Amino acid sequence: MIAIDRFGRTPDGQEAHVFTLTSPDCGVEVRLSDFGATVLGITCPDHTGEPADIVLGFGELAGYAGVNAACYGGTIGPVANRTEGASVEVAGEVWHLEPNEGENNLHTSLGHGFHKRLWSATVDEAANAVTFSCMLAHGELGLPGERTATVRYELTGSTLTLTQRCETDRPTFANMTNHTYFNLAGHGSGTVEDQMVTIEAASYLPIREDSVTTGAVEPVTGTPFDLRYGKRLGEGLGSEDEQIRLGRGYDHCFCVDGFEPGAAPRRALAAEDSASGRALEVFITQPGIQLYTGNWLDDEPVKDGGAYGPRAGFAVEPEYYPNGMHHADWPQPICTPEHPYEETIVYRFGTTETLGAQEAHVEG
């Protein structure tokens, strides 16, 4: 049974809710909110069976409805990441987003984007799933089209499948993502510097001083961005590499190997915490995945009355390449009446023993 509880009232007086999906046999619990189609928490057992919430966030709605500069757990869009000049060309016409990072744009709108809106919710008890939906008028948030965005969360055993979709009545641009931060030792357990991360990517996108991608696609070989064989995050974060300096850590998009439009989700990232034995695998359909090591985190109070500082968690953001609309040779997200935008993210939770034995692909 999917539990539904009140989460409080939004600043404009609407009632928000918490939806709790459970897999008792696996000890996995996922808590979601219709405010921002947000992941509030994910509880998983360690190798001894001890549960912990491995997702960073706030304990009350006010935290998410307030500044929430970190965008904890939220659905981001319609345009994720940074857009140079806050401009997007669609069908030969230039559309303008809100300049909210100098002359550039970050995550469409930090005050009115998808993560700051109350979504409608539909519960599917049989599938152990919740679908959130949000409508945008033509021109709203700076982009064309009467649009309907949906995000479906489905928990099957220890696997959480997230499907993001955007339908439109005219060509538009869509590049949605989810902005959940993980700390596999538990959300309030300190930094993630000792956690191991593997990313299936032979290349990555370097950034400029303003954190916008340069347009280059660089090989990871010989750099801190070579995570193909697993690396302790602290090792890369301690590098004197210029790109690490520019991002104050990892804040870069990795070009995940094997991208094919319409293909089944492929493994993009794996992470593990040696002390607890908790492990995570992320499978995606998008070309890239942003790894952000929480380099600017500074929030108090958070869940359980605690506080987060830099590197208290790492965000995993599957996406089309940031600023890709300005680089025609990069994969472009399709969103037309005939071809809605639809992408899938799959999270597998477990321990190093259980996940290591599973296949590296998800059946479509």
Beta-carbon count within 10 A of 154 CB: 18
- Strands of the 201-205 sheet, one edge to the other: 181-182, 314-319, 288-292, 251-256, 201-205, 218-219
Buried b (16+ CB within 10 A) or exposed e, 99-135: ebbeebbbbbbbeebbbbbbbebeeeeeebbbbbbbe
List the one residue out of 213, 282, 198 whose CA is nearest residue 247: 213
**Residue 179 annotated in active site:** yes
Per DSSP, 59 falls in state S
Q: Which pair of tokens denotes residue 217? A: 């696609």
Beta-carbon count within 10 A of 312 CB: 24
Residue 271: closest CA among 323, 354, 199, 357: 199
CA–CA separation, 249 and 263 (whole Å): 31
- CB distance 75 to 69 below 8 Å: no
Distant-in-sequence, close-in-space partners of 48: CB < 8 Å, separation ≥ 6: 277
Report which secondary-structure segment, H or E, holds 252: strand 251-256
**Cα–Cα distance measured from residue 40 to residue 58, given in angstroms and rounded to the nearest whole number:** 8
H helical segments located in 217-328? 233-237, 242-247
Catalytic residue among 107, 115, 179, 252: 179
The answer to whether 317 is a known catalytic residue is yes
- Distance from C-alpha of 325 to C-alpha of 87, rounded to nearest angstrom: 9
Note whether 177 and 287 are within 8 A (CB).
no
CB atoms within 10 A of CB 50: 13
Q: Report the catalytic residues.
A: 179, 317
